[in-house]
Structure 1
Amino acid sequence: MATRRNSSTETAIKNMLIPLVQAIGRSGKLLYLIVFVVLGVIAYKYFTSEKTTATTEYNTELIQQQIKNVGKLVVTEGHFSQVMTYKDQQKYMMDLISFEKKALIIINADVTVAYDLRQIQYDIDEKNKTITIVGIPKEEIKISPDIQFYDVEQSTMNPFTGDDYNKINKKVKADLAKKIEKSSLKSNAKNRLVSELAKVLILTNSMGWMLQYNGVVVKSDKELELKIVP
Structure 2
Amino acid sequence: MLKRILVGAVVVVVIILAFKFCEFKKGDDSTLDYNTNLIQQQIVNVGKLVVTEGHFSEVITFKNSNKYFLDMISFEKKAIVIVNAKVTVAYDLHQMKYDIDEKNKTITILSIPKEEIAIYPDIQYYDVEQSKFNEFTGADYNKINKTVKANMAKKVDKSTLKTNAKNRLVSEISKMLILTNSLGWKLQYNGEVIENESQLQQDLKL
Q: How does 1:74-85 map to 2 (within 5 A)?
A: 74-85=50-61
1:119 Cα deviation after fit:
2.1
Q: Distance in 1 between matches of 2:134 and 2:34?
A: 73
Given the alignment, which residue of 20, 25, 42 partners 1:44? Answer: 20
1:64–1:229 CA distance, 2 compared to 1 (3 A):
farther
Equivalent residue, structure 1, for 2:42: 66
Structure 2 counterpart of 1:13: none
The within-5 A match list for 1:2-41 is: 27-28=2-3, 29-41=5-17
Taking the aligned partners of 1:227 and 1:115, their CA distance within structure 2 comes to 16
1:72, distance to aligned residue in structure 2 (A): 1.2
Does residue 126 of structure 1 match 2:102? yes
Q: Does 1:196 align with 2:191?
A: no
Q: Distance in 2 between matches of 1:214 and 1:126?
A: 19
- What is the aligned partner in structure 2 of residue 109 from structure 1? 85
Higher mean alpha-carbon deviation, 57-66 vs 117-126, is at 117-126
Identity of aligned residues (%): 61
1:45 is displaced (CA, Å) by 1.8
Contact 1:87 1:102 in 2 (8 A): yes
After superposition, the C-alpha distances for 1:75-113 in whole angstroms (9 at most, x for unaligned) are 111110000101111112212221111111100001111
SS in 2 for 1:94: coil
Over 3 Å counting, the alpha-carbon distance change for 1:175 and 1:141 in structure 2 is: same
> Of the two structures, which has the highest relative contact order with CA contacts closer than 8 Å and spacing of 6 or more?
2
Matches of 2:17 and 2:46, distance apart in 1: 44
Whole-angstrom CA distance in 2 between matches of 1:205 and 1:27:
55
Query: 2:161 aligned with 1:163, yes or no?
Result: no
TM-score (norm. length: structure 2):
0.94
User: How far apart, CA to CA, are the structure 2 residues paired with 1:146 and 1:43?
Assistant: 73
RMSD over aligned Cα atoms: 1.6
1:20-77 deviation per Cα after TM superposition (whole angstroms, max 9, x unaligned): xxxxxx7222222222333333222211111111000010111011111111111111
1:48 partner amino acid: F
One-letter code of the match for 1:221?
E
Mapped partners of 1:44, 1:224: distance in 2:
43
Query: What SS class does the counterpart of residue 109 from structure 2 fall into?
Result: strand
Q: 1:223 maps to which residue? A: 199
AA aligned opposite 1:219: E
Q: Are the aligned partners of 1:63 and 1:200 in contact in 2 as well (CA < 8 Å)?
A: yes
- Which residue of structure 2 aligns with residue 88 of structure 1? 64
Structure 2 alignment gaps of length 5 or more = none
1:216 deviates by 2.2
Q: Which has the higher helix share?
A: 1
Following superposition, the deviation at residue 228 of structure 1 comes to 4.3
- How many matched pairs? 205
Q: What secondary structure sits across from 2:20 in the alignment?
A: helix
Displacement of 1:149 in angstroms is 0.6
Partner residue in 1 for 2:127:
151
Q: Which amino acid aligns with 2:157?
A: E
Q: What is aligned with 1:10?
A: none
SS in 1 for 2:164: helix
Cross-structure match for 1:184:
160
Alignment partner of 2:82: what SS? strand
Extract unaligned runs of 5+ from structure 1: 1-25
